[in-house]
């Protein structure tokens, strides 16, 4: 049973016979523990909503856990390490009463008034509202050698795997901020870093571009797409094709770091929530309201465009405020909320 | 019982000459996903003390073994049986997914 406070059955408990026995119905469950999830948790906790955060078992803290210096988060003029920033966000949420679970959601039942979340451990949690902030997962190139050699020279995490490429030649695929950050970071280890990009110019911010251009270990391979990754047991090279004249050439190297972007992580809600053509979860205008009442979404999972730690945090704030309004509205619309322990017979059920 | 550490010195005895299957978790301090998967391996060890031995190898302190087993991505988990690598799992995974990958040993 959660700490503190009486168990508050939601307004509709009388008319909802399928409430799982022995499970508290919370005000809100937040799925995801990146900047969106934790910021939503900070706001919800400060509103006394006692949020439960399902943080994931191995990806708690989200994408920033695999970054090094975060230099564009306001309030940290000297920069801050990604994992440190996420630890601070978690501490801030917990300080106000958020509860964090290191587990993974394996099933969601969110169409009814009680949102039911099943975890990898088998535990079931229920709430009147849900904030879905699962972020995005790294995108794959989609070629044969990529999966086969994943972990054998193909990597999606420079900070995890760069160490193993000391004095080797490697390539970073992509032209955005994360590709430039990875390429620059990897020059600490590698003797040479090729940056392979499909276009003739970068999407990355000017400061990241300039840093990469100034680095003598980085060589740009412009207007080229990766068509094959070579190697049997380990990566031995890359085959690229020019997007201008179609000429193919191979580059011998030992490692390939893929940083071509991210796709919103929506697999748990594909058939449950409306999505946009971009694959993100549809939300109503500038709000966080999804196509289902009581279900809100925030962060990269609704954002095909900006995808920053700061915008995700802002989006988490919007979701928490929307949850507050929603809970207030259903409280007014339904039967008066009552503490379960004030109702005869229910205390035993909850204690079970 | 949680997973114990191994190193280059005790490698032969701990891993190659061990009787049953031995899972070695190649990890490092600076690897966030390694820190997430470590307590999960401790749990699996505690729940299956007879079936599998789980050991942790710090790749910073034992670069020779990391190189020998061609580790290029961590966490990397390799199950050794009679000195041979039988199963390789790369990347942090939730407990239920790891248990699936290790099903033949945990059955």
Q: Which residues pair with A224 in a beta bridge?
A: A242
Q: How far is B40 from chain A (nearest CA, A)?
A: 9
Q: What is the mean pLDDT of chain B?
A: 94
CATH 3.50.50.60 maps onto chain A at 13-138+262-351, 144-258
| Pick from A27, A61, A47: nearest CA to A133 | A61
User: Smallest Cβ distance to B74: which of A120, A153, A160?
Assistant: A160
Question: Chain A partners of B73 at a C-beta cutoff of 8 Å?
Answer: 150-152, 155, 157, 160-161, 164
pTM: 0.80
Is the pLDDT assigned to residue A276 strictly greater than 70? yes
Is the pLDDT assigned to residue A341 strictly greater than 70? no
Q: Give pLDDT tens digits for A105-126.
A: 999 999 999 999 999 999 999 9
Q: In the sheet that A237-242 helps form, which strands lie side by side, from edge to edge?
A: A224-230, A237-242, A248-252
Is the pLDDT assigned to residue A237 strictly greater than 90? yes
| Pick from A238, A242, A258: nearest CA to A250 | A238
Reply yes or no on whether A161 is catalytic: yes
Reply yes or no on whether A160 is catalytic: yes
Is the pLDDT assigned to residue A12 strictly greater than 80? no
Q: Is B30 on the interface with A (CB under 8 A)?
A: yes
Cis amide leading into B103 (omega within 30): no
Q: What is the mean pLDDT of chain A?
A: 89
Of A160, A284, A339, A341, catalytic: A160
Is the pLDDT assigned to residue A337 strictly greater than 90? no
Per-residue exposure over A106-134, b if at least 16 CB sit within 10 Å of its own CB, e if not: eebebeebbbbbbbbeeeebbbbbbbbbb
Contact between A304 and A295 (Cβ < 8 Å): no
- The position carrying tokens 């999966």 is A147
The SS3 call for residue B40 is helix
Question: Chain B partners of A121 at a C-beta cutoff of 8 Å?
Answer: 95-96
The pLDDT score that the predictor gives to residue A18 is 52
Domains of chain B in start order, with CATH, are: 4-101 (3.40.30.10)
Q: Give pLDDT tens digits for B50-88.
A: 999 999 999 999 999 999 998 999 999 999 999 999 999
- Give, in degrees to the nearest 5, the angle at Cα A81 between A280 and B36: 70
User: SS3 sequence, chain A?
Assistant: CCCCCCCECCCCHHHCCCCCCCCCEEEEEEECCCHHHHHHHHHHHHCCCCCEEECCCCCCCHHHHHCCEECCCCCCCCCEEHHHHHHHHHHHHHHCCCEEECCCEEEEECCCCCEEEEECCCCEEEEEEEEECCCEEECCCCCHHHHHCECCCEECCHHHHHHHHCCCEEEEECCCHHHHHHHHHHCCCCCEEEEECCCCCCCCCHHHHHHHHCCCCEEEECCEEEEEEECCCCCCEEEEEECCCCCEEEEECCEEEECCCEEECCCCCCCCCCECCCCCECCCCCCCECCCCCEEECHHHHCCCCCCHHHHHHHHHHHHHHHHHHHHHHHHHCCCCCEHHHCCCHHHHHHC
In this prediction, residues A18-31 reach a mean pLDDT of 80
| Pick from A30, A32, A62, A21: nearest CA to A49 | A30
Is the pLDDT assigned to residue A343 strictly greater than 70? no
Contacts of A328 (CB under 8 A, 6+ apart): none
- Rg (Cα) of chain B, in Å, rounded? 12
Contacts of B77 (CB under 8 A, 6+ apart): B23, B24, B25, B26, B41, B88, B89, B90, B98
Q: Do A160 and B73 touch (CB under 8 A)?
A: yes
The pLDDT score that the predictor gives to residue A9 is 46
Contacts of A121 (CB under 8 A, 6+ apart): A103, B95, B96
Instruction: Determine the Cα–Cα distance for residues A241 and A250; give it in Å rounded to an integer.
Output: 9
Of A161, A254, A300, A322, catalytic: A161
Q: Give pLDDT tens digits for A32-54.
A: 999 999 999 999 999 999 999 99
Q: Which two tokens stand for residue A11?
A: 């307004």
Contacts of B54 (CB under 8 A, 6+ apart): B3, B22, B23, B25, B41, B42, B44, B45
* A13-138+262-351: CATH number: 3.50.50.60
Is the pLDDT assigned to residue A293 strictly greater than 90? yes
- Rg (Cα) of chain A, in Å, rounded? 23
Of B3, B15, B22, B34, catalytic: B34
Q: Which two tokens stand for residue A111?
A: 């169409």
The pLDDT score that the predictor gives to residue A21 is 60
Q: What percent of chain A is predicted at pLDDT more than 70? A: 88
The pLDDT score that the predictor gives to residue A1 is 39
Q: How far is CA A163 from CA A80, A345, B56, B77, in A?
A: 21, 60, 18, 17
Q: Do B33 and A106 touch (CB under 8 A)?
A: no
Q: Which two tokens stand for residue A136?
A: 């995005």
Q: How far is CA B92 from the centre of its chain?
A: 12
Reply yes or no on whether A232 is catalytic: no
Q: Do B92 and A58 touch (CB under 8 A)?
A: yes
Instruction: Determine the Cα–Cα distance for residues B48 and A101; give it in Å rounded to an integer.
Output: 24
Question: Chain B partners of A102 at a C-beta cutoff of 8 Å?
Answer: 36
- The CATH class for the domain spanning A144-258 reads alpha beta
Q: Taking CA atoms, what residue in A is nearest to B88?
A: A151
A2 against A310, higher pLDDT: A310
User: Chain A interface residues facing chain B, Cβ-Cβ under 8 Å?
Assistant: 56-61, 65-66, 83, 102-104, 106, 120-121, 150-153, 155, 157, 159-161, 163-165, 233-234, 255
φ and ψ at residue A209, rounded to 5 degrees: -60, -50
pLDDT band at B1 (very low <50, low <70, confident <90, very high): confident
User: Smallest Cβ distance to B32: which of A83, A153, A163?
Assistant: A83
- The position carrying tokens 């969110």 is A110
Q: Do B32 and A152 touch (CB under 8 A)?
A: no
| Pick from B23, B12, B18: nearest CA to B104 | B23
pLDDT band at A180 (very low <50, low <70, confident <90, very high): very high
Of B31, B41, B59, B92, catalytic: B31
Beta strand pairing status for A124-132 and A25-31?
A: parallel
The pLDDT score that the predictor gives to residue A15 is 42
Please give the interface size between A and B, counted as residue pairs whose CB atoms are below 8 Å apart. Answer: 74
The pLDDT score that the predictor gives to residue A3 is 42
The pLDDT score that the predictor gives to residue A331 is 84
Q: Is B95 on the interface with A (CB under 8 A)?
A: yes
Is the pLDDT assigned to residue A17 strictly greater than 70? no
Is the pLDDT assigned to residue A252 strictly greater than 70? yes
The pLDDT score that the predictor gives to residue A250 is 97
pLDDT band at A22 (very low <50, low <70, confident <90, very high): low
Q: Which residue of B35, B36, B88 is the best one to mutate when testing the A interface, meaning the one whose CB has the most A CBs within 10 A? A: B36
Q: Taking CA atoms, what residue in B is nearest to A168?
A: B72
């Amino acid at each position: 049973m959660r700490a503190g406070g009486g168990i508050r059955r939601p307004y509709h408990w009388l008319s909802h016979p399928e409430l799982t026995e022995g499970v508290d119905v919370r005000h809100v469950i937040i799925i995801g523990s990146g900047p969106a999830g934790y910021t939503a948790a900070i706001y919800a906790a400060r509103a006394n909503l006692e949020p439960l955060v399902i943080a994931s078992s191995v990806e708690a803290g989200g994408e920033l856990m695999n970054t090094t210096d975060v230099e564009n988060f306001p309030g940290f003029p000297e920069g801050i390490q990604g994992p440190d920033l996420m630890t601070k966000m978690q501490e801030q949420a917990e300080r106000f009463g958020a509860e964090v679970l290191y587990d993974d959601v394996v099933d969601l039942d969110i169409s009814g008034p009680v949102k039911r979340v099943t975890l990898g451990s088998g535990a079931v949690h229920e709430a009147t509202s849900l904030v879905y902030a699962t972020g995005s997962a790294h995108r794959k190139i989609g070629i044969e050698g990529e999966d086969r050699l994943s972990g054998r020279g193909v990597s999606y995490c420079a900070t995890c795997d760069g160490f193993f490429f000391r004095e080797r030649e490697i390539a970073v695929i992509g032209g955005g901020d994360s590709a430039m950050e990875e390429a620059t970071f990897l020059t600490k280890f590698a003797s040479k870093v090729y940056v392979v990009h499909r276009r003739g110019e970068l999407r990355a911010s000017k400061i990241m571009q300039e840093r990469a251009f100034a680095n003598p270990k980085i060589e740009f391979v412009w207007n080229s797409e990766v068509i094959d990754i070579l190697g049997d047991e380990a990566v031995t090279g890359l085959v690229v094709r020019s997007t201008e004249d179609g000429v193919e050439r191979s580059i011998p190297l030992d490692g390939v770091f893929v940083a071509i972007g991210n796709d919103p992580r929506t697999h748990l809600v594909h058939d449950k929530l409306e999505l946009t053509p971009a694959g993100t979860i549809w939300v109503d205008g500038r709000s966080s309201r999804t196509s289902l009442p009581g279900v809100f979404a925030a962060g990269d999972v609704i954002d095909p465009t900006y995808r920053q730690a700061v915008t995700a945090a802002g989006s988490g704030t919007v979701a928490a405020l929307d949850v507050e309004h929603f809970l207030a509205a259903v409280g007014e619309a339904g039967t008066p909320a009552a503490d379960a322990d004030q109702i005869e017979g229910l205390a035993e059920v909850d204690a079970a | 019982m949680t997973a114990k550490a191994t190193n280059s010195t005790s490698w032969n005895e701990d891993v190659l000459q061990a009787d049953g299957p031995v899972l070695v978790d190649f990890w490092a301090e600076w690897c966030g996903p390694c820190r997430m998967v470590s307590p999960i391996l401790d749990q699996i060890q505690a729940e299956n003390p007879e079936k599998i031995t789980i050991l942790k190898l710090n790749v910073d302190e034992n670069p020779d073994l990391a190189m020998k087993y061609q580790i290029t991505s961590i966490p990397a988990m390799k199950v050794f049986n009679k000195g041979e690598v039988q199963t390789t799992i790369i990347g942090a995974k939730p407990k239920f997914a790891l248990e699936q990958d290790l099903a033949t040993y945990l059955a």
